[in-house]
Structure 1
Amino acid sequence: MTASVTLDHCVIHVSDWDRSEEFYREVMGAEIIHEDVGFAIRFGEQQLNCHGPGKDAVPLARRPVMPGNSDLCFRWHGPIAGAAEHLAAKGVAVELGPVERRGALGSGRSVYFRDPDGSLMEFISYDG
């Protein structure tokens, strides 16, 4: 029998808990789940666990990701112009886009921006 898997969660590292919580809640629309080792950022059934200063998580990757080293793409539901407008309203600069990209569902349009630590963030839309 072949196993069937989907991504449940992955880990990012933040340098400032409060600043990151505000960004992911206000800009990304995430639900923040507070835990003993920091917090998790939840988007429906997907989750990012956060590691950061003053919290010891076990186990860790052999070479844990550092703040600003992540490259994450999130699906934007609706036209990509709405994503760019949303980022502008939140004071977040678009670094690139809209540009054509391929994602998990095929061809889409993306805008790129940064989280407070400098990680590259992408919104991709399959809706135009």
Structure 2
Amino acid sequence: MNTNITLSTCFIAVDDHDKALEFYRDILGLEVRQDVGFEGMRWVTVGSPSQPDVNIVLEPPAANPNASPADKQAMAELLAKGMLRGVLFATDDVDATFEHIRAAGGEVLQEPIDQPYGVRDCAFRDPAGNLLRFNQPKR
């Protein structure tokens, strides 16, 4: 196979777009790329200015049109418990990133530590309960 496959879009479940934007835009510094109404819902994408080709869609659990009402309720409950998969962000200074997010009121799950698999990382929960890890290669 001789194709070049790259990541273009990923999704983070959120229960409140405004709270999510306060976190991802105002605290993490991601830029808002789209914030529009779409089929009775809100389509919001953010991304790092240093990665213009990678978008993150902030999506409510009910956004899947193929999900049954029971599935949508189950997703909302898992999100509320912080049980959905996490997201990993890279940073060039995990300690400074940690201090910035903590000072802004981020919910700390793990202070920066050196991991045996070659990174220094820390962890937070976003306003919806998603696990967010921030890491950098060990120096």
- Identify, as 1 or 2, the structure richer in helix: 2
Bigger Rg, which one: 2
2:86 maps to 71
Give the SS at the match of 1:5: coil
What one-letter code is carried by the residue in structure 1 that aligns with 2:35? H
Q: Output the CA distance in 1 between the equivalents of 2:13 and 2:118.
A: 30
Matched, 1:126 2:137: yes
The alpha-carbon deviation at position 97 of structure 1 amounts to: 2.8
2:37 maps to 36
Measured on the aligned residues, the alpha-carbon RMSD in Å equals 2.7
Structure 2 residue runs of 5 or longer lacking an equivalent are none
CA contact (8 A) 1:12 1:70 kept: no
Q: Deviations over 1:47-86 (max 9, x none)?
A: 1112227x856688xx7865342300101122x2212211
The alpha-carbon deviation at position 119 of structure 1 amounts to: 0.5
TM-score computed with the length of structure 1 as normaliser: 0.77
CA contact (8 A) 1:51 1:57 kept: no
Q: Choose the corresponding residue for 1:49, options 41, 57, 65.
A: 57
TM-score computed with the length of structure 2 as normaliser: 0.71
What one-letter code is carried by the residue in structure 1 that aligns with 2:91? W
Structure 1 residue runs of 5 or longer lacking an equivalent are none
Identity among equivalent pairs (%): 26
CA contact (8 A) 1:77 1:127 kept: no
1:109 maps to 120
CA contact (8 A) 2:107 2:126 kept: no
What one-letter code is carried by the residue in structure 2 that aligns with 1:29? G
1:81 maps to 95
Query: 1:4-15 residue pairs with structure 2 within 5 A?
Result: 4-15=4-15
